[in-house]
């Protein structure tokens, strides 16, 4: 019948077209591309975990150095790993009150330093002096009126420090190094 033979002709030509597609080349190229993507993802992960990462920060505790919201900063992870954090550095560390949160504050003292701080800046001038124990660091936000830091949860062990903040990447007006002292844009 005419329909049957037309179908047979179509099937035969489809089989021929199927056979002429270069399957081996296509699959080789697909594997190559996939491996390239996997390598790129691994490279990005290693850089992010061990060299430098970009973090967005929020909150009023580091005003005026960092804005309330929307600042993106670059965190250097090599310094914390080597243990060469210095007084005056802004660091990123895991909160001792909640290990799933990372917070940024400035280091005001290392082990052995004596820190004098205002107990409650809203209510007068009473101050306390404390010596930072071995293996710990004293961290404080630049905005002492609205910051939860070592004045509340005590000195922080070095093992919690994940990186040192060294550069502000966003907003563009604020592009620049984050220095050793509290400064504004």
Q: Minimum distance between the CB of residue 104 and another protein, rounded to whole angstroms?
A: 14
Angstrom distance (rounded) from CA 160 to CA 57: 18
Identify the active-site residue in 39, 53, 105, 128: 105
Question: Is-catalytic flag, 105?
Answer: yes
Tell me, residue by residue from 120 to 139, as one string, x for binding to another protein by CB under 8 A and - for no binding.
-------------xxxx---
Q: Using the 8-state DSSP alphabet, how is residue 58 labeled?
A: -
Output 161 or 178, the one with its CB closest to another protein: 161
Question: Is-catalytic flag, 61?
Answer: yes
Q: Minimum distance between the CB of residue 54 and another protein, rounded to whole angstroms?
A: 21
SS3 annotation, 7-20: HHHHHHHHHHHHHH
Phi-psi region of 154 (alpha: psi -120 to 50; beta: other; left: phi over 0): left
Q: Which of 96, 110, 167, 169 binds another protein (CB under 8 A)?
A: 96
Verify binding: residue 112, another protein, rule CB under 8 A.
no
Q: Which of 2, 98, 123, 124 binds another protein (CB under 8 A)?
A: 98
Verify binding: residue 160, another protein, rule CB under 8 A.
yes
Q: Which of 95, 110, 118, 169 binds another protein (CB under 8 A)?
A: 95
Are residues 73 and 66 in contact, defined by beta-carbon separation less than 8 angstroms? yes
**If we measure between CA atoms, which residue out of 153, 117, 109 comes closest to residue 134?**
109
Q: Which of 159, 171, 176, 179 binds another protein (CB under 8 A)?
A: 159
Are residues 148 and 61 in contact, defined by beta-carbon separation less than 8 angstroms? yes
Write the CA distances from 126 to 6, 109, 146, integer angstroms.
98, 20, 17
Angstrom distance (rounded) from CA 18 to CA 29: 18
Stretch binding another protein (CB under 8 A), from 37-45, 69-77, 114-122, 159-167: 159-167
Binding positions for another protein, rule: CB under 8 A: 83, 93-100, 133-136, 156-161
């Amino acid at each position: 019948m005419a329909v049957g033979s037309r179908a047979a002709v179509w099937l035969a030509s489809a089989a021929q077209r199927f056979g002429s597609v270069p399957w081996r080349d296509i699959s080789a190229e697909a594997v190559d591309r996939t491996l390239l993507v996997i390598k790129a993802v691994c490279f990005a992960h290693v850089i992010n975990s061990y060299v430098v990462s970009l973090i967005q920060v929020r909150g009023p505790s580091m005003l005026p150095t960092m804005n309330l919201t929307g600042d993106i900063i670059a965190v250097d992870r090599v310094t914390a790993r080597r243990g060469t954090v210095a007084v005056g550095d802004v660091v990123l560390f895991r909160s001792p009150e909640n290990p799933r949160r990372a917070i940024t504050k400035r280091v005001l003292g290392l082990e052995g330093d004596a820190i004098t701080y205002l107990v409650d800046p809203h209510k007068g001038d009473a101050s306390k002096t404390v010596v930072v124990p071995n293996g710990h660091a004293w961290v404080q936000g630049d905005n002492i009126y609205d910051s939860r830091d070592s004045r509340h949860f005590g000195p922080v062990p070095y093992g919690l420090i994940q990186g040192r903040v060294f550069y502000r990447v966003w907003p563009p007006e604020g592009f620049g190094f984050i220095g050793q002292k509290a400064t504004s844009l």
